[in-house]
Amino acid sequence: MTRTVLVTGGTSGIGRAVAERFAADQAEVFITGRTPGTVEQTAKELGVHGVVCDAADPGRAEACAARLGTLDVLVNAAGGLPQATGGGDEPPLDALLAQWHANLSQNLLTAVLTTASVQDKLTGGSCVISIGSIGAERRGGSYGAAKAALAAWNASLSAELAPRGVTCNVISAGYISGTNFFHGGLSDERRRTLVEETHNKRAGTVDDIAQTAHFLASPGARHLTGQTIHVNGGAFTTR
């Protein structure tokens, strides 16, 4: 049976690799992003459906959901480090508030709103996968706090949806190369430090995350729900 898969933030990095992995199964895949040209181009390259949608906008999220029938797999990959928008002359507390709002919006509310918009389309056997971050465990600031909240929300979502047969998990990613996450601003020294923190001495790849998502959506993972799965080469261990 052909599965329907929605990947928010599917135009780049992790989301794109996840979409590609499910498209390889001949699933009917929908990707979203906020930038029309990138959505159109990526959808064409991957042979999937592209929907321009800011996942933090309730109206847009609802309009995107209206395009779907039943949904087998939702991957909330939209997120990242919001780029500063103020001119730098606003009062410090206003700038701080804007930074926190932007991070909570991009890394938490995107997943909350998208999931709520498609909730009645999930069926027994469906799964919700949200991309979290090692930043939730340490050094996270407003970004890490948003990703920690994502994991807390996932636990309650699982309690609500698992009785209907829907699994809900977070993949908490360590440093992953091949994305636009750092907006080109990752220094060689910082990169070396991030790799050095791992046990296997390598950066994560988008495929590491895509394969984990594919497993979470497989029949072998049906008893796995409410969890945060850490994919980071040992840079953070749970014990």
Ligand X SMILES: NC(=O)c1ccc[n+]([C@@H]2O[C@H](COP(=O)([O-])OP(=O)(O)OC[C@H]3O[C@@H](n4cnc5c(N)ncnc54)[C@H](OP(=O)(O)O)[C@@H]3O)[C@@H](O)[C@H]2O)c1
- 24-to-49, 203, 211 alpha-carbon distances in Å: 14, 24, 12
Q: Does 77 bind ligand X (CB under 6 A)?
A: yes
Alpha carbons 127 and 158: distance in angstroms, whole number: 10
Q: Does 144 bind ligand X (CB under 6 A)?
A: no
**Sheet holding 28-33: strands in order across?**
49-52, 28-33, 4-8, 71-76, 122-133, 167-173, 228-231
Among 4, 5, 6, 12, binds ligand X (CB under 6 A): 12
CB-based contact 11:48 (threshold 8 Å): no
Q: Which residue, 140 or 165, has its beta carbon nearer to ligand X?
A: 140
Q: Which residue, 79 or 233, has its beta carbon nearer to ligand X?
A: 79
Instruction: Count how many Cα atoms sit within 13 Å of the Cα of residue 177 in the half-sphere of its side chain.
Output: 12
DSSP 2: P
Among 4, 5, 6, 8, binds ligand X (CB under 6 A): 8
Q: Does 167 bind ligand X (CB under 6 A)?
A: no
Among 3, 28, 38, 145, binds ligand X (CB under 6 A): 38
User: Segment contacting ligand X (CB under 6 A): 67-75, 84-92, 96-104, 176-184?
Assistant: 176-184
Q: Does 41 bind ligand X (CB under 6 A)?
A: no
CB atoms inside a 10 Å sphere around CB 182? 14
Among 154, 179, 227, 228, binds ligand X (CB under 6 A): 179
Q: Does 173 bind ligand X (CB under 6 A)?
A: yes
User: Segment contacting ligand X (CB under 6 A): 30-38, 43-51, 83-91, 117-125?
Assistant: 30-38
Alpha carbons 50 and 7: distance in angstroms, whole number: 10
As measured in angstroms, the least distance from the Cβ of 129 to ligand X is: 11
Closest CA to 5 of 216, 170, 192, 185: 216
Tell me the H-state helices in the chain. Answer: 13-23, 36-46, 58-65, 92-104, 110-118, 141-161, 188-196, 206-216
Among 180, 193, 200, 218, binds ligand X (CB under 6 A): 180
CB-based contact 228:236 (threshold 8 Å): no
Among 4, 103, 110, 158, binds ligand X (CB under 6 A): 110
Q: Which residues bind ligand X (CB under 6 A)?
A: 8-9, 11-15, 32-35, 38, 53-56, 77-80, 106-107, 110, 131, 133, 173, 175-176, 179-181
